Structure 1
Amino acid sequence: MLFGPRTLGFYIGKRFLLAIFAVFILCSVLIFLIDFVELLRQSGKYGEVSVVTLAFIALLRLPAYAEFLIAFAVLVGSIAALLQLSRKSELTVMRAGGMSVWQFLRPGIIVGFMVGLLTAMVFNPLAAAGRTAAESVYAEAFGKETNLLRSKSGASWLRQNGTDGQSVINAAIATNRGLTLHGVSVFIFDNDGRFVERVDGKRADLHEGYWEVTEAWVVRIGREPEKFDTYLVSTYLTPDRVADALGTMFSVSFWELPALIEVAEKAKLSASRLRIQYETLVSRPLLCAAMVLLAATVSLRSFRGGGIQTMVITGLVGGFGFFLLSEVSRQVGVAGLTSPWAAIWLPVVLVMMVSATVLLHQEDG
């Protein structure tokens, strides 16, 4: 049987799933409150925005932020589930019935693997869509105070060329993976490099061969400023190149990444960030299964033997150490010092091997 004895396997799997879900919900609530308080602070400093709008923005951004805590939730939830089984002597009864540690961990490992699989294939696309929508709502809510926003988060700068000459674009906020800019200033030069005009607009959308600037003020040397509902600025940039320059990985779903990687490589652009993100999502099922093994190394001791608190703290410290190692390895991969595959998979394989070795030593000596 996949779970071992059917009834017992489903019982253990349910305990793991409920504990993981409880930890994830608790962490998500804390993230929502922190983000909501930060949005309230920004609203009071940069412009009055309704509480409902701020809560909506925080809710849309929540899945993208909470996604980073999936592995942590699996680790802590697995520790909690195993400790609860141990506290009620259920693990002792299972061992007395002839079950090995690998048999009663199998349901937890499968649950962890499935949680990782679903978060990569289903939850991540939802989080990406929510993040994209949140960026648009945020830009609409705070876009009127672009000068203040620039000093807070830094503006995006983009140099480009077009049929009318070169131009430099400054945007307070880039959304929709860089295809929509808010709080835009465009400095346009002719083909000889001489300044021609400056265009300031509320928003700029990239189309094939041009940026469409809405509510644009155009200033030229020796002439009065002119107001246009829409103003076009030529460009040779394609949506793929702009997304590579200004886009965020949080707004790209798992299913979009392979095509974006292929386009970036055909355009001779760096695809390291995209590949790192893709490998991170692909490795997530195995990572969650590894977290169950890591949790088991510190959660199987009997309560009567004492030292449970020390073992749990050791497991949490080990988990944080692993997450730190993974982040360092990821940054090494982004910098191009190693392949994306090695940067993401080696820490996962390492923690699985170490956890399995510790469990074998604890069980078989």
Structure 2
Amino acid sequence: MPGVSTLSLYIGLRFLTAIFGVFGLCTVLIFMIDFVELLRQAGKYGSVPAYMLAWITFLRLPAYTEILLPFAVLVGSISSLLLLARKSELAVMRAGGMSVWQFLRPGIAVAVLLGIFSSTVFNPMAASARDRSERLYSEVFGRESSLLGKGGSGTWLRQDGADGQSVLNAASARRRGTELTTVTAFVYDKSGRFSERVDAQQAKLEEGFWVLENALVSRVGKEPETFGKYLLSTYLTPERVVDALGSVISVSFWELPDLIYVAEKAGLSSSRLRIQYELLLTRPLLCVAMVFLAATVSLRSFRSGGIQTMVVTGMIGGFGFFLFMEISRQIGTAGLAPIWAAVWVPVVLAILISVTVLLHQEDG
């Protein structure tokens, strides 16, 4: 048993080192590309110190690299298995009575742990860093970047005020989120019951309230009323509204369940939030699928030849799978399929197909 645990640790470290190597290389490339883009913008919109540009790039980096983990697991697993095969270590393990499922077990364990860490720790850190980078970008460039997505349902926020809670939906934002356009507000009284709906052309954040211009107010059992200016109480400050008005990618894994609940309670579309939450939940299983996919193209002996063809096939299969996942995600977002099916079915199919191929390779 001590020998088995030592061997498992050795294989697991091989997987971990290869995955981190691929992830680190991609991270450096993304950092350089984004830094060059910021340098171009600095030359166009004003001089900014290089250290500040590097810091903004560093803060934006986690959000950009988060989606690279499954790709890093795929390439890292292929690399580690090929290295073990090239040194005949896999042949020795097979000769010692180990099956493919036994020496893949450490890699699967590494993939599960990395997936859990990515969803529960790295994702909240990336969301927080991205918000910080948006604030710095606006400050140093003196330009107001759009804080809201351009999806069909816009972006929304939950807020509380002296008169009760409300949920705002807006198409776009300016001045770091303090000015909104095409606004819809669902207002609740202090007991949590729906009070009114307010549709306005734009809203501006003042101290303690939103000023909604050209507002149409609809109340239960009453005729709609039009107001030139309508005040909606809020405890939000300009600093907090920047954090509240973000895209889905800037929402932490731990915040998503509450936001989904509020959206559905307010009658807003929560499909993008639910898709994001399901994607984060499936990330450990997705990483496991990448290990199985890597094994299907990396276990052939170097003496039998055809290694390059198998690796290229595996890479093409991986990219095809990521494309299939994106198409499935868009189908789920559009409401053409249940969200759980749009996210989980591609991952489960990838595992089943990979395991079937491995069974055929090993057992005939």
Question: Shorter-chain TM-score category?
Answer: 0.7 to 0.9
Map of 2:209 onto structure 1: 209
Contact 1:128–1:250 (CA under 8 A) maintained in structure 2: yes
Runs of 4+ off more than 3 Å: 168-174, 184-187, 204-209, 232-239, 242-246
Q: What whole-Å deviation, never above 9, does each CA across 1:266-319 have from its counterpart, x for those lacking one?
A: 111111011000000000000001100000000001111111111111000000
Partner of 2:231: 234
Deviation per CA, 1:63-90, whole angstroms, max 9, x where unpaired? Answer: 0000010000000000000000000000
Are the structure 2 counterparts of residues 170 and 340 from structure 1 closer, same or farther at C-alpha, using a change threshold of 3 Å?
Answer: closer
Cα deviations by residue, 1:15-67 (Å, 9 ceiling, x for unpaired): 00110011101000101111111111111112222111111111001000000
With over 3 angstroms needed to count, the CA separation of the structure-2 counterparts of 1:113 and 1:313, relative to structure 1, is same
State the 1:209 CA deviation.
3.2
How much does 1:235 deviate? Answer: 3.7
* Distance verdict in 2 for CA 1:243–1:58, change over 3 Å: closer
Instruction: Give the Cα–Cα distance (whole angstroms) in 1 for the partners of residues 181 and 283 of structure 2.
Output: 42
The 1:207–1:286 alpha-carbon spacing in structure 2 relative to 1, beyond 3 Å, is: farther
- Cα pair distance change 1:361/1:49, threshold 3 Å: same
1:282 aligns with 2:293: no
State whether residues 71 and 287 of structure 1, in contact with CA within 8 Å, keep that contact through their aligned partners in structure 2: yes
The alignment partner of 2:35 has SS state of: helix
In 2, the alpha carbon distance for the partners of 1:349 and 1:129 equals 31
CA distance 1:171–1:9, shift in 2 (3 Å): same
CA-based RMSD: 3.4
Say yes or no: does 1:353 pair with 2:364.
no
How far apart are 1:237 and its partner, in Å? 8.3
Question: What is aligned with 2:99?
Answer: 100
- What is the match of residue 194 of structure 1? none
Alignment of 1:1-365 (within 5 A): 5-143=4-142, 145-146=143-144, 171-172=173-174, 174=176, 180-181=177-178, 209-210=209-210, 234-235=231-232, 247-365=246-364
Give the whole-Å Cα distance in 1 for the aligned partners of 2:341 and 2:8: 34
Extract unaligned runs of 5+ from structure 2. Answer: 157-162, 164-169, 183-201, 213-228
Gaps of 5+ in 1: 175-179, 188-197, 213-231
Change (3 A) 1:48 1:234: farther
Aligned residues, how many? Answer: 310
- TM-score, with normalisation over the residues of structure 1? 0.77
Question: More deviation in 68-77 or 265-274?
Answer: 265-274
- 1:46 & 1:68 partners in 2: Cα distance? 30
Shift of 1:139: 1.1
The answer to whether the Cα contact below 8 Å between 1:280 and 1:344 also exists between their aligned partners in 2 is: yes
The alignment partner of 2:92 has SS state of: helix
CA distance in 2, matches of 1:336, 1:89: 50
- Assess if the C-alpha contact under 8 Å between 1:325 and 1:347 holds in 2: yes
Structure 1 residue identity aligned to 2:209: G
Letter in 2 for 1:51: A
Moved more, 246-255 or 19-28: 246-255
TM-score of the pair, normalised by structure 2: 0.77
Q: Which amino acid aligns with 1:209?
A: F
SS of corresponding position for 1:99:
coil
- 1:4·1:103 contact (CA, 8 Å) conserved in 2? no
User: 1:297, 1:358 within 8 Å by CA — same for their partners in 2?
Assistant: yes
